[in-house]
Amino acid sequence: MDLLFERFLSEARGEWPDIDLDLPSGERREAAIQYVYQRYGRHGAGMTANVITYRGRSAAREVGKALGLPGEMQDRLARLVSNWGYQDPAEVLTRHLAEAGCDPTQPRIRKFAALWTRLQDLPRHLGQHSGGMVVTGGRLDDVVPLEPATMPGRVVIQWDKDDCAALGIVKVDLLGLRMMSVLQDSISLVRETSGEVDLAHLPDDREVYAALQQADTIGVFQVESRAQMATLPRIHPERFYDLVVQVAIIRPGPIVGDMVHPYIRRRRGREPVVYPHPSLEPILARTLGVPLFQEQLLRMAMVAAGFSGSEAEELRRAFGFKRSERRMAEIETKLRAGMARQGIEGRAADEIVHAITAFALYGFPESHASSFALLAYASAWLKVRHPAPFYAALPMGFYHPATIVKDAQRHGLVILPVDVTRSGWDCTVEGVDGGWVVRLGLRYVKGLRETAARALVSERQARPFVSVADVAARAGLASDETQTLAAIGALAAL
């Protein structure tokens, strides 16, 4: 891979780079955040704020309450705007009020429409950024006001990420990634059952790629959606970089830029690999002449139009989320002028401009795709080589629990039911007849409180249960919880 440094840090940007650290989600991520607070002090670190604005449904309910509209009408209006949404100032809400059974000529309804439109994007309240943290060597409250967060043990600054960027304050995002928790838990279970796993040195495993080629990817990071499963057999990944492409191709950028089908046709040998201009072959050869990554678009501008790395990054930002028609026109003129100096005009120039302008907004960075592909391969490898620990660690969220269980059984893995004499809060691995099986955890019992379930496990570890009444009394189960456990057979051993 040939990653572009200016995508990370550029002198022309005049600002600090985005620094994101992916951490295992849940308690482990919170432990990392608390470490930062301990390291820099409560006055030396803080989470960045997030300005929550009025949008669609929330604005409709607030305006409806202020105007004294009946609750049932507020509900109808909220449902209406959530479907129609805030699209264009020229597209007024009054044209759609009849869909909610409202009379557009009624004064209060017209006032509702006017206020609702004016309220869009105005600040509603201050929230907490999902993971952005600011740290300082001195006192942060010398620079920005601090306030205690609603979440215990956290401090929040009263500025959002855009304020921090404008003032040159470095922000680091500590993000939680669920799959990293799955991998960490899987490795712990592998350690308990069959040995050590080093994710940094996983072998290139043909059976893993065979599973990917067959779209056998339920529970596998980034490639488990229906769209990914539909393209996996056609892209037919055979090496790691194929997986990098697979992660990146089902994204808005390749879809909007009409890059998916040309790549697949070339991958399958049904279409020749061609390039908009011969000078772009070194940049596009690894993706068969089809630009898929942001870094490729930046290098295309550098080679085809003579842009510097900083100018190419400026191009990407010009076509970013906060688009300016004037700025985009200026950049496109500069791009075409640069290509003309290189002798690239006509259809080739149009094709390059289309690729860059259609892709810049949604293009996925190759660096991100590579990192995600590592996690995708690791999860696929664990699923193939250590299925019991993998399925036991897999949270049943993206798919219905029954789908996960059926997939595990399809791979020959035995799934044992919840049992109050055996189950933990999470799923566990048990040795049976020389093999390993998965025991479902108490967390999947609908209607069972976590405190009661954890108390049950704690009491059982102290002393085995002797009867159903003993379980209920020592774990503090409510009568409906006991009935639920009985209904699913979790009390059968007693």
Residues sharing a CB contact under 8 Å with residue 337, sequence separation 6 or more, in sequence order: 305
Q: What is the pLDDT of residue 114?
A: 83
Rounded-to-integer distance, Cα 215 and Cα 237, Å: 10
For residue 83, what are the contacts with CB-CB under 8 A and spacing of at least 6?
none
Contacts of 418 (CB under 8 A, 6+ apart): 439, 440, 441, 442, 444, 445, 485, 488, 489, 490
pTM: 0.83
The structure tokens 């697949």 sit at 264
Residue in the structure block whose two tokens are 């970013």: 320
Helix (H) / strand (E) element for 474: namely helix 468-475
For 161, 288, 312, 332, 359, the CA distances from 315, given in Å and listed in that order, are 22, 24, 5, 9, 11
- Per the structure block, which two tokens stand in for 380? 């696929």
Give the other-Cβ count within 10 Å of 374's Cβ.
Answer: 18
Tens digit of pLDDT per residue, the chain (494 long)? 667 776 677 666 666 777 889 999 988 999 999 999 999 988 889 999 988 888 878 888 888 899 898 888 888 877 776 544 444 444 446 566 776 677 777 888 888 888 888 888 888 888 888 889 998 888 888 888 998 888 888 889 998 888 888 888 888 999 999 999 999 999 999 998 888 899 889 999 999 999 999 999 999 999 999 999 999 999 999 999 999 999 999 887 777 767 889 999 999 999 999 998 999 999 999 999 998 888 888 889 999 999 887 788 777 777 665 555 677 778 888 889 999 998 998 988 988 888 777 666 567 889 889 999 999 999 999 999 999 999 999 986 667 888 999 999 999 999 999 999 999 999 999 999 889 999 999 999 999 999 999 999 999 999 999 999 999 999 999 999 999 999 999 999 99
- pLDDT tens digits, one per residue of 386-396: 999 999 999 86
* Residue whose tokens read 């191009």: 315
Other Cβ atoms less than 10 A from the Cβ of 472: the count is 20
Strand 19-24 relative to strand 171-177: parallel, antiparallel, unpaired? parallel
Report the DSSP beta bridge partners of residue 45. 135
The token duo for 192 is: 């308990």
CB 6: neighbour CB atoms within 10 A?
A: 21
The tokens for 440 are 């479902």
Nearest Cα residue to 239 out of 215, 267, 273, 204:
204
φ and ψ at 93, to 5 degrees?
A: -65, -30
172 phi and psi, to 5 degrees?
-115, 130
DSSP annotation string for 156-187: EEEEEHHHHHHTT--EEEEEEEHHHHHHHHHH
CA distance 155 to 124: 20
- Start-to-end CA distance of the chain, whole Å, equals 59
19-24 and 45-53 strand pairing: unpaired
Question: Could you tell me which residues are beta bridge partners of residue 50?
Answer: 127
Cβ(267)–Cβ(235) under 8 Å? yes
Max Cα–Cα distance, the chain, nearest Å: 86
pLDDT at 82: 55
C-beta of residue 206 within 8 angstroms of C-beta of residue 418 = no
Instruction: Print burial letters for 67-98: b (CB count within 10 Å at least 16), e (below 16).
Output: eebeeebbebbbebbeeeebeeeeeebeebbe
User: Which residues lie closer than 8 Å to 360 by C-beta, 6 or more apart?
Assistant: 294, 297, 315, 316, 318, 319, 320
Backbone angles phi, psi at 170, to 5 degrees: -75, 130
- 11-26 in b/e burial notation, b at 16+ Cβ within 10 A? eeeeeeeeeeebbbbe
Q: State the number of CA atoms in the 13 A half-sphere of 325 facing the CB.
A: 0
3-state secondary structure 243-265: HHHHHHHCCHHHHHCCCHHHHHH
The Cα 100–Cα 77 span in angstroms is 6
Count CA atoms closer than 13 A to 307's CA, side-chain side: 26
The burial class, CB within 10 Å (0-12 / 13-18 / 19+), for 397 is exposed
